[in-house]
Amino acid sequence: MHHLAQIPFPEVKRLAAGGRALTILPVGVVEEHGAHLPLGLDSFAAEVYAASAAPDLEAGGYDVVVAPTINYGVARAAIDFPGTLSLEPETLRSMVVEIGRSLARHGLRRLVILKGHRDLHHMKALDDARSILVSEKAAQVLVVGFAHDAEMTAACYRDGVKQFYQSPRPDREGHGGESETSVALHSFPQLVKREVIPELTPNFDYDVEAFRNETKDYWSISDGRGYFGWPQAASAETGAKLVAVRGANIARVILKEWGSPGKS
Ligand SMILES: [Zn+2]
């Protein structure tokens, strides 16, 4: 796995010439995730899943290049919480299109946009970016992680993980709950406010439809708590399993879609 920002230009030339390069662009956001988790969680998680998917993609024949993460996105649902920052969708779309065009100019024409954040306008902006790049024939583009396409989201993040949940209501685990807290405890524990977690009571009885469809804001549906589910059910052990399975899921989705380089 190569981090684009950490290698010199001749290496990019070599990777492009090899014909096996696949660039992952992690896209996150700055958004509240409860009183116990950092605002950058979705960005960090996208990077963690990229690193977890890389070995399987390499085994499939690809040279994996990870571009610097886009740490800003559209975060309208949680905008009332201090620190949440939101771009206009067209700003995000333009960033991704311009990054994709630049990569393509240098021969990096396979782009995977890996989304760590679910917000309907955010996801649409990235779908639109994909459509533009594909229509310009700039690159092959795949959008993975949280996606408008519920099947894609499930294939990446939900398949094969249900049995890991310790929560009594896994169907109510969401933003800032058991899953995200577990991933944070495993992958960036230094950023988790562990002393706060025992005070966090379960939030199971929220308006699920309003949460999914973003018809109400996170502040009002969570009573200002900012998490959905029960962070106390989380553990680093669960986080390790979630990261491994979701990384493998993402690699499988990409390999299914594109095959191995040269064979597609
Ligand atoms: Zn999140």
Residue pLDDT, tens place only, 60-69? 999 999 999 9
CA 94/CA 129 separation, integer angstroms = 7
The whole-number average pLDDT for the span 127-151 is 94
Q: From CA 25, how far away is CA 39, in angstroms rounded?
A: 19
Share of the chain above pLDDT 70, in %: 99
| C-alpha to C-alpha distance for 212 and 205, rounded to whole angstroms | 14
- Residue 180 CA to ligand 1 centre (angstroms): 7
Q: What is the per-residue pLDDT for 149?
A: 87
Q: Given the DSSP bridges, would you call strands 63-66 and 2-3 parallel, antiparallel or unpaired?
A: parallel
Question: 141 exposed, middle or buried (CB, 10 Å; 0-12, 13-18, 19+)?
Answer: buried
* Adjacent-strand bridge partners of 47: none
How many whole angstroms from 171 Cα to the centroid of ligand 1?
16
Q: Which helix (H) or strand (E) holds 218?
A: helix 218-221
Half-sphere exposure of 20 (CA within 13 A, CB side): 14
**What is the structure's pLDDT at 148?**
85
pLDDT of residue 115: 96
Distance 149 CA to ligand 1 centre (A): 18
Residues that place a CB less than 5 A from ion ligand 1: 42
Ligand 1 center to residue 85 CA distance, Å? Answer: 13
In terms of Cα–Cα distance, which of 149, 110, 85 is closest to 21? Answer: 110
- Determine the pLDDT at residue 263: 52
Residue 142: phi and psi, rounded to 5, are -125, 135
* DSSP H or E segment with residue 58: helix 41-59
**Mean pLDDT, residues 152-159 taken together:** 92
- Binning pLDDT at 50, 70 and 90, where does residue 262 land? confident
Distance 46 CA to ligand 1 centre (A): 10
The tokens for 190 are 């230094």
pLDDT at 238 over 80: yes
Kindly tell me if the per-residue pLDDT of 264 is higher than 50: no
What tens digit of pLDDT does each residue of 171-193 get? 999 999 999 999 999 999 999 99
pLDDT at residue 57 tops 60: yes
Give the residue ranges of DSSP H helices in 60-163.
89-105, 120-135, 150-153
pLDDT at position 102, please? Answer: 98
What's the 146 CA to ligand 1 centre distance in angstroms?
Answer: 10
pLDDT, tens only, 87-104: 999 999 999 999 999 999
Q: Does pLDDT of 205 surpass 60?
A: yes
Percent of the chain at pLDDT > 90 equals 95
Largest CA distance in the chain: 55
Predicted model pTM: 0.96
The predicted-structure confidence for 16-46, as pLDDT tens digits, reads as follows 999 999 999 999 999 999 999 999 999 999 9
Residues with Cβ within 8 Å of residue 158, at least 6 apart in sequence: none
